A and B are shown apart, each in its own frame.
Chain A
Amino acid sequence: NAGVTQTPKFRVLKTGQSMTLLCAQDMNHEYMYWYRQDPGMGLRLIHYSVGEGTTAKGEVPDGYNVSRLKKQNFLLGLESAAPSQTSVYFCASSKLHLNDHRYNSPLHFGNGTRLTVT
């Protein structure tokens, strides 16, 4: 059981370049999330998805796009990278229990992607 897998683990981009971060989960979770983590800022939500084919903006969505074509995958795209996007990116997933919130599962995190934009 792999859980949540993120690729790549490290990446260096030049300003203006584009890239896609891939997140895959094998737990059949409905919810998936992309966070960025910066010193002193904590984890900030970029985008999230409540199911296949649906996405929504989080706290800091500008400069990023996402897609969830399959339930198990959640892609984060940077169309034109900027130095301000240098960060550690975490993907997470969780299971939703509509009828009893006591059983809503915690977030399961991937190991992160360290992105540097020069």
Chain B
Amino acid sequence: GQNIDQPTEMTATEGAIVQINCTYQTSGFNGLFWYQQHAGEAPTFLSYNVLDGLEEKGRFSSFLSRSKGYSYLLLKELQMKDSASYLCAVRGLNSGGYQKVTFGTGTKLQVIP
């Protein structure tokens, strides 16, 4: 099976940097995603890691260590609109060989002035 852990809530100040961690256990690892979800809306894709290392995309970066089952999402120059839930999701293979994506419970980030 798959198990994903991430903090429930975080608070950070506008203009600052925040790191949201995610640890996972899975069989047949085939990629890790980060999604952003504003209240009452659908999740939207932020980043994807399948190999170890850092992926940078503007103010957002995501890191993966497959050997440690660990990832983090780094948000720089925080803006008020970044207040949202951030979902870590892992894609793995089930017993039938099909890909399955499992989500963590999400980290609710509050950006304060």
Whether the Cβ atoms of A109 and B43 lie closer than 8 Å is: yes
B32-56 residues at the A interface, CB under 8 angstroms: 33, 35, 41-45, 48, 50-51
- Which candidate, A13-21, A36-44, A70-78, is the interface stretch facing chain B? A36-44
Write the chain B residue with the least CB distance to A40. Answer: B105
Residue in A33, A56, A101, A111 whose beta carbon sits within 8 Å of that of B101 in the complex: A33
Chain A contacts for B100, CB-based, 8 A: 45, 48, 58
B90-113 residues at the A interface, CB under 8 angstroms: 91, 94, 96, 98-106
CA distance in complex: A93, B64 (Å): 24
* A interface residue count range (under 10 / 10 to 19 / 20 to 34 / 35 or more): 20 to 34
Residue in A44, A50, A59, A101 whose beta carbon sits within 8 Å of that of B98 in the complex: A50
Residue in B33, B50, B102 whose beta carbon sits within 8 Å of that of A102 in the complex: B50
Write the chain B residue with the least CB distance to A58. Answer: B100
Chain A contacts for B45, CB-based, 8 A: 106-108
Contacts A41-B105, A106-B33, A106-B48 given; does A31 touch B42 at CB 8 Å:
no
Whether the Cβ atoms of A109 and B42 lie closer than 8 Å is: yes
Whether the Cβ atoms of A107 and B101 lie closer than 8 Å is: yes
Write the chain B residue with the least CB distance to A3. Answer: B42
Q: Does B7 contact A (CB under 8 A)?
A: no
CA distance in complex: A50, B43 (Å): 21
Q: Which A residues are within 8 Å of any B CB, using their own CB?
A: 31, 33, 35, 40-45, 48, 50, 56, 58-59, 90, 94, 96, 101-102, 104, 106-112
